[in-house]
Structure 1
Amino acid sequence: MTTSALKRRSFLQGSLLAAAVIGSTPAVAAEAAKPKFDESFDVIVVGSGIAGTMAALSAADKGANVLMIEKMSRLGGTSRISGLNFACVGSPAQKAKGVKDTSEQLASDMYKVSGNMGDYEKALEMAKNTARAEAFMTQRGVKWDGRLLKLGGHSQPRVLVSEGDGAGLLNALWTYMKGLKNVTVRTHVKADEVLFNDKGVAVGVKVREKYFFDTPETDDNENKTGVEKRIEAKKGVIFATGGYARDKAFRSSEVPFLAGVATTTNPGATAGALKILVNAGAQPMHLSLFRFAYPLPTEDMIWGMMVDPATGRRFINEGLTRNALAQAVLLKRLQNGDKKPFIIYDEKSLGKFHNLNRVQRSLNGLNGIDGTMVKYDNLSELCKAFGADPKVVEDELVKYNAMITEGKDAQFDKPLERSGRKVEALDLKGPLFAMVINPRLNYTPGGIRTDLQGRAIALKDGKPIEGLYVVGEASGGLHGQERMTGCSMPECAVFGMIAGESAAQRKSI
């Protein structure tokens, strides 16, 4: 017996989290004697960012006939516009510099940052496979720019940066993929449903081809474009569909204050795929968590002084974690009439940034929403641009400089050293540099619970759903309250690779 549809359950008060109480299982279509498919592949990969691309390549490498589909008009999702910093244990760069690092250290670092909500075993599995993923990508054309960074939360220098950031890395892998005869890639194809056989094994996907994305606000519920098709996956279905940062209605139903937060993620980053997977019986988790990002690295906020434009006063420890910074900034905006705080640097402090490329992009106006940093000849000119009282701001800067010179931030207890570099007083003579601080919701930690192979875990009994994998940002549970910098890329690359290998090695249905 087979299934062509999934039994849909209602959600308590409209929340996916309520699915943990009521459950959801695939339905068996008793009237169907055998699945009817329009096409057949060994492995279907839904999504084409780094997780999907690695899944497709690794499955193909094991001999599988692979279909990779993307609902948007171009490949890459949010990965294409990301920096994709890659935390890697045992890379050639670490070996060349004699860095002593272990998988256990990386996993422990991640767990510390997670607020005791992360998955240590999954982090360890990721860490153990980072060098293998690096070699896999390098062998397929990815190039690294030679830097080996020690970013916030990391106990060792281990973060690699690809040439050309996310677009450069993906273009290299896609160029390699074009030479493979056993990988088919299609855009404008939207997955609508996971198809199961009578044993509860995922055997395919119902899709719409010639689908054209509309807007994040209405697309999942109202967009009916495309031609329906049923495609068989004889070995496995891998969802690598990313997060839901663009889905304002969904994210704010979980966390109300996220309703008006900006995001620069791919417009297609909605909760549609997550809902498909929950309807397929998979367990969602950590949907009420969030992770903010900024045009400039969070680690480099520490070199400047942040100001509330309404009062002209410093109001925060600039060395806080990204989520703590974001919540303080958003609270301040609620209190001051929604005026965006700004941060002040001088030339010397800009030189301390760990990523000077992003500084230059900001100075050139290429860093997206509220991502432009402006150079000012003097403090008066700067304050006028941000609507702050120059006398008050100057008084704050003088007090700030005195504390920094004395070696202790008596006001907010900001740490005065990071990665071997010391925070220094700002030169009030100018030139000065400033930009608004507007947190972006560029990553959603919540998603589908998975095992170490990337298999989706069933809500009903806590067991893996055979044939169904979820990888990258579409999965949940690894990072907990806060994802450590440089760890999204290895999660996507490693578990995409593992899921592709696992699916390709399964027996055909």
Structure 2
Amino acid sequence: MLKTKKILSLLLALILITTALVGCGNDAKETLYQDGIYQGSAQGHNAEVEVEVTVKDGKIAEIEVLQHHETKVLTDPVFEKAIPAIISENSVNIDTFTGATITSLALKNAIKDALTKAGGNEDVFKKGKLLKFDSASDSSEETYDVVVIGAGGAGLIAAIEAKAHGANVVILEKMPFVGGNTLVSGGEFNAPNTWVQEKLGIEDSVEQYYTDTLKAGDFEGDEELIRTLAENITEGGEWLRDSVNVEFIEDYLMHFGGHSVPRAIYPIGGSGVELIQKLGAHAEAKDIPIKLSMKAEKILTDDNDRVVGVEATDVTGRTVTFHAEKAVIIATGGFGANYELTKKYNSEIDERYKGTIQKGTMGDGILMAEEIGADLMGMEHIQTYPTCNPLTGNLSYVADTRFDGAVLVNKEGQRFVEEMERRDVISKGILAQTDSIAYLVWDKTIKENSHMDKYQVEFDNMEKQNLIIKADTLEEAAAFFDIDEKQLLETIKTYNGYVQEGQDKDFNRRGKLVALTEGPYYIQKVAPAIHHTMGGIKINSEARVIDKDGNPIEGLFAAGEVTGGIHGTNRLGGNAISDLIVFGRIAGQTAAK
């Protein structure tokens, strides 16, 4: 009897499909599916996206996302726009969202997986209208006091501060979502004499922070800008906490390589998502319009070379002019995703490198500013992050165990660099090893001391990719990656001895030394990827853009990674967020005057 029911169900499904294919023509609203409630899933950027689809009268009636681990700032515009359109048009023939391709594909494929159980197939799925979600601009001209280009951390902060100081502000963002590189960062920022340092009993000073930053950039950074950064970041962090309601872990600091003391304040969730969500909500509450999918093409000037606006294009290619009565602020990020530019300024940084950065980081603002006479500086200084996913280039948060005691070794099982060194030093060290790969090794104690549990989804994905192993013994973990077991055991034994003595005699490792003595043990495969461009538009301490003659360009400001001079040859970990907080605030405040 059960077998007969299954046969009848299959026949019914075949009849429905045949009816749909023959009878619906080009109208995707015809009956295509068997009524019922179906679940489906598909791999997203971080993990499976799971959905539940309700079919009524042969059509898609309801879609519920049951579970996902995608970045909320990216998923919101995808889910909010795509799901109603799919239901309305009874079509899964959706276009992907620029900048959120993997997430939009995951949603589409999860829905298709569910509808396959309702009798759908690829022929049915292709019949629907191709759904696009970016909308055209309502007007061809708009006027504001301040026009901000870029809705990353620097742009959002600049706009919020300009608005707070009385300016009418708009933000232009070429991607269909806000966040920029801040969104995919760790979100930590360095500051001296903070409330967290005070709570943990850590002594620090403005002068010490200034010296660490200047030294890390090989003394090539602009001393005036670095001084401005050091003297204003603590207040900037308190502003984020008290005015924007960004939440931080109150009893933990990250100690990034190159810093003399721990000083990186850590947002809840351990990523830039917390900053962007709170900044975005604050901008919305202050009625600051954000024009998504609006690409700035040209900075406009008058006959006296004063900046007076921005020419942009919407998704249809229509030109929209944004007049700026007071100022334009460039906050478009760096150029790390533009290999044409990276190779132009540093021939070593080419397509061999993947990147931790957003695909939209193409140097647009730098090129627009240069076109109207802005001076550039430090463009050859391009930073790679040493411990990234070798397959995707994604920044690995799990690899932050390096700051809590994990040891770096090569294929031969030997240490080759100080784990707390500058990023450029470690990256070059890794590239010099066999296969240009390194391996992070840690144990149960280090794992428990870190915040790695927050990144379990990343850990699970890397396990599937064979990039990480958890094992009861070091020998077992080493064998998984074909690391020289005997040498690795000797290396860890020697290192543990140094921990007991209180000094790393091989590399003089900074920070707290932690022995690796208790299983389970972990080994993670890592490689460098393009992470930050230190060079960019030259600015002064008021965030005014400077021209090739050394004079400010009237009405033009810049903040964040789009600028050069602050980090010299090398940026210290945690200083990018510090940079955009301080100079984003200054740009907004000054531009509003």
TM-score w.r.t. length of structure 1: 0.79
1:160 to 262, 265, 273: 265
In 2: Cα distance, 1:92 partner to 1:168 partner:
19
Which of 377, 383, 386 matches 1:291?
A: 383
Q: 2:250 aligns with which of 124, 131, 146?
A: 146
Of 311-320 and 64-73, more deviation after overlay is shown by: 311-320
What amino acid does structure 2 have at the position aligned with 1:308?
N
What is the rounded CA distance, in whole Å, between the counterparts of 1:38 and 1:441 in structure 2?
38
Do residues 483 (structure 1) and 552 (structure 2) align? no
Residues 372 and 500 (structure 1), Cα distance of their counterparts in 2 relative to 1, 3 Å cut: farther
Does residue 435 of structure 2 align to residue 329 of structure 1?
A: no
How many Å separate the matches in 1 of 2:282 and 2:369?
30
What SS class does the counterpart of residue 257 from structure 1 fall into? coil
Q: What's the counterpart of residue 434 of structure 1?
A: 523
Match of 2:334, SS? coil
Q: Given the superposition, is the C-alpha separation of residues 121 and 435 from structure 1 closer, same or farther in structure 2, using an over 3 Å criterion?
A: same
2:234 to 131, 141, 146: 131
CA distance in structure 2 between the aligned counterparts of 1:370 and 1:479, rounded to whole angstroms: 35
Q: Distance in 2 between matches of 1:482 and 1:358?
A: 29
Q: Identify the range of structure 1 (49-58 vs 385-394) with the bigger mean alpha-carbon deviation.
A: 385-394
2:285 equivalent in structure 1: 179
SS at structure 1 position matched to 2:480: helix
- State the 1:384 CA deviation: 3.0
- Alignment partner of 1:381 is 2:476: yes
Structure 1 counterpart of 2:485, one-letter code: P
Q: Does residue 265 in structure 1 map to residue 357 in structure 2?
A: yes
* 1:238 counterpart SS class: strand
Letter in 2 for 1:74: F
1:234 and 1:366, CA in 2 relative to 1: closer, same or farther beyond 3 A? farther
What code does the residue aligned with 1:163 have?
I
CA shift at 1:75, angstroms? Answer: 0.7
Shift of 1:477: 0.7
The partner residue of 1:414 within 507, 515, 518 is: 507
Check if 1:363 corresponds to 2:459: yes
* CA distance in 2: counterparts of 1:103 and 1:201, whole angstroms: 36
Match for residue 348 of structure 1 among 413, 438, 445: 445
1:439 is paired with a residue of what secondary structure?
strand
Aligned positions of 1:204-219 closer than 5 A = 204-210=309-315
Checking the alignment, whether the CA contact within 8 Å between 1:416 and 1:423 is kept in structure 2 is no
Q: 1:188, CA displacement in angstroms?
A: 0.4
Give the deviation of 1:372 after TM superposition: 5.5
* Higher alpha-carbon deviation: 183-192 or 298-307: 298-307
Across the aligned residues of Structure 1 and Structure 2, the Cα RMSD in angstroms comes to 2.8
Query: Secondary structure of 1:147's partner?
Result: strand
The 5 Å alignment of 1:182-201 reads 183-201=288-306
2:164 is the alignment partner of 1:61? yes
What is the CA deviation profile of residues 396-425 of structure 1, one whole-angstrom value per residue up to 9, with x for unaligned ones?
444554555566655xx222551xx2242x
Name the CA distance, whole Å, in 2 between partners of 1:140 and 1:364: 33
Q: Secondary structure at the match of 1:146?
A: strand
Report the more deviating stretch, 400-409 or 375-384: 400-409
Q: Which has the higher contact order (CA 8 A, sep 6+)?
A: 1
1:142 positional shift: 1.7
Q: Structure 1 pair 406/255, CA: closer, same or farther in 2 (3 Å)? A: same
The TM-score with structure 2 as length reference comes to 0.68
Aligned to 2:543: 454
What is the CA distance between 1:341 and its match in structure 2?
2.2
Pair 1:416–1:198, CA change in 2 (3 A): closer
| CA–CA separation in structure 2 for the residues paired with 1:326 and 1:371 | 22
Q: Report the Cα offset of residue 346 of structure 1.
A: 1.8
CA distance in 1, matches of 2:170, 2:470: 49
Are 1:82 and 2:185 counterparts?
Answer: yes
Whether contact under 8 Å (1:445, 1:473) holds in the other structure is: yes
Alignment CA distance shift 1:194-1:306 (3 Å): same
CA distance in 1, matches of 2:539, 2:333: 14
Distance change >3 Å, CA 370–CA 247, structure 1 → 2: farther
Cα gap change, 1:204/1:78 in structure 2, threshold over 3 Å: closer, same or farther?
same
Report the count of equivalent residues. Answer: 440
CA separation of 1:275/1:388 partners in 2, compared to 1, >3 Å: closer, same or farther?
same
Residue ranges of structure 1 left out of the alignment (5+ in a row) = 1-36, 211-224
Match of 1:203 among 308, 324, 335: 308
The Cα shift of 1:123 comes to: 1.6
